[in-house]
Structure 1
Amino acid sequence: MSDVELFRTTEDHEALREAVREVCEAKIGPHAAAVDEQSRFPSEALRALTATDFHAPHIPEEYDGVGADALATCIVIEEVARVCASSSLIPAVNKLGTMPVILAASDELKQRYLPPVARGEAMFSYGLSEANAGSDTAGMTCKAVEQPDGSFVLNGQKSWITNAGESEFYTVMAVTEPDAPRGRNVSAFVVERSDEGFTFGAPEKKMGIKGSPTRELLFDDCRIPGDRLVGERGEGLRLALHTLDHTRVTIGAQAIGIAQGALDFSLGYVKERRQFGKAVADFQGVQFMLADMAMKLEAARQLVYVAAAKSERGDADLTFFGAAAKCYAADVAMEVTTDAVQLLGGYGYTKDFPVERMMRDAKITQIYEGTNQIQRVVMARQLLR
């Protein structure tokens, strides 16, 4: 891919966008307000995405997937987030949960766990953070102790796990080498929802993305067969961070989708709403707001798409670009959705219109998969290397 091609989506990408948008507007968007109001999982979205193979488009063809590239996967997530951020976490978290398996698991493990996700029979979540190990992931205390028969027994918990309880499979990071150096003592495992000793905490009561359940994973002498180890022992944290290099790009895609939804609604509103005898859109102050919203959104989109191209190629500078794309797009999403609420005035502050939901949903993009403060630390480290 040449440098010029980095900034151009293909005809296939744009055809994909059109197809996903059609599904989203017909089958997902109409339920978004109810999903938020009732804090319920968007089952309509799961059915619609599974029926069209948009639920986990990143899974390679050899594992029954459609083999969408990283940019195509971002476009799917972006378009779903445009109408419902909660629903966009179905394809986003399926990628997050499976990425360690794709990057490091044995082919036997890939053959066991990727096809059910590709076929829509299961979802896959990711367990890294803990109550006292959020940004400081190396400070985790969840342990996996090897047994004489080669199995591992897990004890501990994981916090803020997206789609917990709905997903069938979980990539879980746990300390296996307590005497090893910090950061080289963690291993990755696949845990199944049905494993004995594995339970869930109560759903968190959240500001936004209310349709995506967020719960603790609780392990009480949970025995895991040894063949569920993902990659090498002691390399789990390195694998977790490498995974995030790729999946932070998808959170950037979610952020620009939320922002696009807010901008689209705002444009329609200000053209219809009349004050002082003319459309609100005719006031120059409003036009400047709209121009700034669109300008920043397009800048964020280009950064996300370039990062997606780098993710697809596995470029050496992906760590910087993944962090930059997530950080900038999330900040823009928060700004654009806040301005959207402002443009609607008093109506924007009510649940009668979707921009207040989009503003609440946008906030989490600045926090999860590494806060935007952590993204700036990551970028600075890359610059100073």
Structure 2
Amino acid sequence: MDFSLDENQKIFLKLAQDFVKKEISPKIPELDAKGEFPRDIIQKAWQTGFVNLCIPEKYGGTGIDQISIALIVEEIAYGCSGIATSAMCNDLANVVIALHGNEEQKEKYLKPFTENPLFASFCLTEAEAGSDNLAMSTFMKKRSDGKYVLNGSKQFITNASYADQFTVFCKLSDPKSKFLACVVTPRNPEEGKIETGKPEEKLGQHLSNTATVTFDDVVIDPSQIIGDRRQGFQYLVDVLDFTRPMIAAIGSGIARKAYDLTLNYTKNRVQFGQRICDMPVARETLVKMFNKMRTSYIMTLYAAWKLQNNDKDKGVYASLAKNMAAEAALFNANEGLHLHGGYGFMKEYEISKLARDAHIIDIYEGTREVQSMIQGREIIS
């Protein structure tokens, strides 16, 4: 296996690094304090080609490889994981269309995102259906004219306040049905109403919008149903296999930023007549931080490589990469804050932001326990 990046991957990485240095890093302290949605930054990311990474060239996308996607997302997360989460949300919502939609659907639902800086939301989680997706109660029922009526509420939906299009997973015919369907609807449907709640006030990732979405008698034409209306659960698995390496990349970016901030601080902070980094107990922590940062990064790229090759066990490594990256992000952010001492507890030091942001990596798109369940099931089978 060749671990070197090809020329295109090097170009994408350099572009992402330059973008973060110019457009994200200098603005983070002020933006995070205000908690305002960074629409302008994400629009610039769209102009640079860092949004809608899942869309094939045929429909106006870049058509880049999975390793390049991981490199870009990791670098943006190094600047801010909240911005990375909102920037990649279009892929979370639209990859199911790229994978399972027909030609007409791809033209209708994907191409507009490459022509204008639009937002899409992925609607899965509900108040009573977090890790247990099949416990959802949102459903669509067929009416006499052959169309369907969608009703229900989704919770913790990224970019919901700004979404132009929603990808919705729902039960078929009845809230207790065993079948899931996947549908796409614009924010302003021809019939029915879609409402979003006020943005959630979160512990971290203040620069990623999160809100509740309610579908009230929204009429769904059969042409809005992606693939087989009974195969939604399999489509969901495919989506998460695609996006979990991206979440791992976000965790890896947090871990690397926490390490860099902490290494720099401990090199310059002198206590008891010596630099903190020269103290054996501190150096031991720095080594652990380095190890977790590098191993999670390598596993993230390996999971992306597995996905790119469509290996049968790609889901196992997607889950493994996500768990390793979440662990690295949490460890490095918390231990980094600790090595900053009292300064780490101050909002003016970015390490405090990372400590708040890191927790969600261990939760969204499947908790660590869910990832272990996936790995265990696949290993045994």
**Which category of TM-score, normalised to the shorter sequence, fits these structures?**
over 0.9
Larger CA deviation: 203-212 vs 363-372:
203-212
The partner residue of 1:295 within 291, 307, 311 is 291
* Alpha-carbon separation, structure 2, partners of 1:259 and 1:179: 40
The answer as to 2:357 corresponding to 1:356 is no
Contact kept? 1:57, 1:91, Cα under 8 Å: no
SS in 1 for 2:53: coil
Question: Which residue does the alignment assign to 1:41?
Answer: 37
Q: Kindly report which structure 2 residues correspond to 1:305-384, keeping only aligned pairs within 5 A, or say none.
A: 305-384=301-380
Deviation (angstroms), 1:149: 2.6
Instruction: Tell me the amino acid that sits aligned with residue 28 of structure 2.
Output: A
The answer as to 2:199 corresponding to 1:194 is no
Instruction: Tell me the amino acid that sits aligned with residue 287 of structure 2.
Output: A
TM-score (norm 1): 0.95
The partner residue of 1:128 within 120, 124, 127 is 124
Question: Which residue does the alignment assign to 1:12?
Answer: 8
Q: Please, which runs of 5 or more residues in structure 2 have no aligned partner? A: none
Deviation (angstroms), 1:180: 8.7
Identical amino acids, percent of aligned pairs: 30
Larger CA deviation: 325-334 vs 24-33:
24-33
- Superposition RMSD on alpha carbons, in Å? 1.5
Instruction: Tell me the amino acid that sits aligned with residue 193 of structure 1.
Output: R
* Alpha-carbon separation, structure 1, partners of 2:62 and 2:137: 37
The partner residue of 1:58 within 48, 54, 65 is 54
Contact kept? 2:259, 2:289, Cα under 8 Å: yes
Contact kept? 2:86, 2:209, Cα under 8 Å: no
Deviation (angstroms), 1:40: 1.4
Q: Kindly report which structure 2 residues correspond to 1:74-153, keeping only aligned pairs within 5 A, or say none.
A: 74-153=70-149
Deviation (angstroms), 1:151: 2.0
Question: Which residue does the alignment assign to 1:279?
Answer: 275
Deviation (angstroms), 1:275: 1.6
Contact kept? 1:128, 1:240, Cα under 8 Å: no
Contact kept? 1:252, 1:326, Cα under 8 Å: yes
Contact kept? 1:123, 1:168, Cα under 8 Å: yes
* Alpha-carbon separation, structure 2, partners of 1:43 and 1:323: 30
The partner residue of 2:200 within 185, 199, 204 is 204
* Alpha-carbon separation, structure 2, partners of 1:166 and 1:180: 31
Instruction: Tell me the amino acid that sits aligned with residue 288 of structure 1.
Output: E
Runs of 4+ in structure 1 off by over 6 angstroms are: none
* Alpha-carbon separation, structure 2, partners of 1:217 and 1:180: 20
Deviation (angstroms), 1:160: 0.9
* Alpha-carbon separation, structure 2, partners of 1:382 and 1:198: 38
CA shift in 2, pair 1:307/1:353, >3 Å: same
Q: Alpha-carbon deviations, 1:218-272, whole Å to 9, x = none?
A: 0111112221101101111211122101111110000001111111111211111
CA shift in 2, pair 1:54/1:120, >3 Å: farther
Question: Which residue does the alignment assign to 1:171?
Answer: 167
Aligned residues: 379
Q: Please, which runs of 5 or more residues in structure 1 have no aligned partner? A: none
Contact kept? 2:86, 2:158, Cα under 8 Å: no
